[in-house]
Amino acid sequence: MRILIAGASGLIGQQITKLCHHRGDVVHFLTTDKSKLSNQDNYKGFYWNPAKNDIDIECFSNVDAIINLAGESIAAPWTLFRKKKILNSRVRSLELLNKSIPKNHKIKAFATASAIGIYPHSFTNYYEEDEKEFSNDFLGTVVQSWEREAQNIKENHRFPVAIIRTGLVLSESGGALGKMRGMTAKYLGTVIGSGEQWVSWIQIHDIASIYLFCIDNQLDGIYNGVAPNPVSNLKLTRELACAMGKPIVLPAVPVVLLKLFIGERASLLWGSQRVSSKKIEEQGYDFYYTNLKPALKDALSQEKSQLLEELA
């Protein structure tokens, strides 16, 4: 299979690429950074710049499936300028893919990133994909625009489009866990607010596998990309500290204080979304990691995960 990945150099993209190479797929990738271009037989890079409507259309050559992960990171402070980039990078990437896919393509499946931030903050709801209420905060509105653009692709082309509402990805290579790990290592790990807020996590190996599962099975529609057992912020903080052998010495940080320091971005830490994995499981996806402890253990492992060794 030949798979085009937009944003392959990121956290999830690197893991998908590993899995693709393991099973013998050829990866074409789109990057906004010319220094990342490569020209190996099974890993071929193509430049694009969605902000300028610029794309090397050779990237589509003989491609069977497309995975889109492109988007400006949400980790840095949300200045007005960065907020625009967070939104535009996602919407314009999909717009550009949509209008650039050649008429004579042989694409059979398209899978694209989304986020559980589309669901409103709640301590009690258990969100499934048919939820009608959406969050109206910054991330909620970004994700709604992002998904609308994905729907446009589906209307414009004949292949199925899977939209993957991703939870907090646990990976040794960075992302949110990388930051929490850094803080915990310096004895700065702490519970946020009451610690009751739900964290719907997913191990990096599972989220990468779900993308491939969606394109292999030509799935269409919205799927939550979360593990079956979400936990509270309190549990995640304690389990991480325990896995690292570091105590939590600081008291919980009040949400008002957090908002004072990092503003609107605090919603990433106090927001609560308990999200269901039932729909993807009903399609036949079998999770490698259903419980937090082993998922964290492997995500924190400096060595190659046992799972990947087994696969190799």
Ligand X SMILES: NC(=O)c1ccc[n+]([C@@H]2O[C@H](COP(=O)([O-])OP(=O)(O)OC[C@H]3O[C@@H](n4cnc5c(N)ncnc54)[C@H](OP(=O)(O)O)[C@@H]3O)[C@@H](O)[C@H]2O)c1
Q: Which residues bind ligand X (CB under 6 A)?
A: 7, 9-13, 31-33, 36, 50, 69-73, 85, 89, 93, 113, 115, 166, 168-169, 175-176
What are 133-142's contacts with CB under 8 Å, separation 24+?
137/264, 137/267, 138/78, 138/83, 138/264, 138/267, 139/74, 139/115, 139/267, 139/268, 142/86, 142/87, 142/90, 142/117
Other residues' Cβ atoms within 10 Å of the Cβ of residue 50: 22
Residue (51 or 257) nearer to ligand X, CB: 51
Residue (16 or 234) nearer to ligand X, CB: 16
| Cβ at position 269, least distance to ligand X in Å | 13
Residue (31 or 305) nearer to ligand X, CB: 31
The dihedral region occupied by 170, where left means phi > 0, alpha psi between -120 and 50, and beta the remainder, is beta
Dihedral sign of CA atoms 220, 226, 229, 233 in order: negative
| Cβ at position 249, least distance to ligand X in Å | 27
| Cβ at position 147, least distance to ligand X in Å | 12
Residue (109 or 169) nearer to ligand X, CB: 169
Residue (36 or 106) nearer to ligand X, CB: 36
| Cβ at position 254, least distance to ligand X in Å | 25
| Cβ at position 307, least distance to ligand X in Å | 19
Residue (40 or 73) nearer to ligand X, CB: 73
Residue (12 or 243) nearer to ligand X, CB: 12
Report the residue closest to ligand X, judged by CB: 10
Residue (58 or 310) nearer to ligand X, CB: 58
| Cβ at position 252, least distance to ligand X in Å | 23
| Cβ at position 68, least distance to ligand X in Å | 8
| Cβ at position 251, least distance to ligand X in Å | 27
